[in-house]
């Protein structure tokens, strides 16, 4: 136990967000030009989580909350008693605060891997499209499991045969279903449910146009129906996971 605590202390002292990443995200939300895209993506992600879990979220922390689009979805639905947010970007903190969400209790800007809350302070933590940006994944995931009883994650599945990683948006990790579930299990989290999803047709139409987006979405859904868990080897999908903290 003493060794584990010493290791964590050393690891936390060493772990901080690289300056190149901090600079990338600091002014990420200065403008709201991607607002409609983020709103649709948040709606999709909450729908995916709801497909795995239909109960109340209780006191909820959104980790890497961005501009607050996911928080807005949860607040509108009234499915969390209290909302909290942490975000690395100062511009993101400003965007979240400006929303005036009813259930929002606190927004904090963080720098590094410590989450400034006590053990099991939260019933639920969301980590949506964040892990692919994180340098020290296990350190980050252990901290999520420390502060929350349940953790919901969503990541893009970009590690198939094509091997493309979308570095345009700061992605530095890529995953297959096997690698992400193994990462979670070896980070003190117990995956109790997971499912592969596509983005909605509305989201793909926003990105690629009405006709092309509809065609892309239809093909993606067809491939998923035909090939099941093998589909991410052929195209990019999303994996949503519900975890329980084993700590």
The share of the chain scoring above pLDDT 90, in percent, equals 73
- DSSP per-residue codes, 171-232: ------HHHHHHHHHTTTEEEEEEEEEPPPHHHHHHHH-HHHHHHHHHHHHHHHHHHGGGGG
Note the pTM of the prediction, 2 decimals.
0.87
Q: What are phi and psi of 20, to 5 degrees?
A: -65, -35
Give the domain 2-198+237-245 fold. Answer: Rossmann fold (3.40.50)
| Dist. CA 136–CA 10, nearest whole Å | 13
Judge whether 162 and 233 are in contact, CB under 8 Å: no
Each residue's pLDDT tens digit, 13-47: 444 555 555 555 555 666 677 889 999 999 999 99
Choose between 237 and 1: higher pLDDT.
237
Task: Kindly list the domain boundaries of the chain, sorted by start residue.
Answer: 2-198+237-245
Position 4 scores a pLDDT of 43
Q: Cα 237–242–246 angle (5° rounding)?
A: 135
């Amino acid at each position: 136990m003493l060794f584990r605590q010493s290791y964590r202390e050393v690891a936390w002292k060493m772990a901080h967000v690289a300056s190149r990443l901090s600079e990338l995200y600091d002014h990420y939300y200065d403008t709201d030009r991607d607002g409609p895209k983020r709103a649709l993506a948040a709606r999709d992600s909450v729908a995916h989580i709801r497909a795995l879990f239909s109960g109340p979220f209780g006191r909820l922390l959104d980790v890497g909350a961005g501009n607050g689009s996911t928080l807005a979805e949860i607040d509108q639905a009234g499915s969390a008693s209290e909302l909290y947010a942490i975000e690395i970007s100062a511009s993101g903190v400003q965007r979240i605060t400006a929303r005036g969400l009813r259930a929002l209790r606190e927004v904090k800007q963080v720098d590094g891997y410590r989450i400034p809350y006590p053990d099991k302070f939260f019933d639920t933590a969301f980590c949506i499209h964040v892990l692919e940006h994180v340098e020290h994944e296990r350190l980050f995931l252990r901290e999520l499991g420390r502060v929350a009883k349940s953790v919901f994650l969503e990541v893009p599945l970009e590690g198939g045969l094509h091997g493309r990683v979308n570095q345009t948006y700061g992605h530095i990790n890529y995953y297959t279903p096997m690698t992400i579930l193994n990462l979670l299990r070896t980070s003190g989290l117990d995956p109790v449910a997971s499912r592969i999803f596509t983005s909605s047709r509305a989201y793909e139409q926003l990105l690629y146009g009405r006709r092309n987006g509809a065609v892309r979405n239809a093909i993606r859904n067809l491939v998923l129906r035909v090939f099941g868990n093998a589909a991410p080897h052929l195209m990019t999908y999303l994996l949503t996971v519900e975890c329980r903290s084993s700590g």
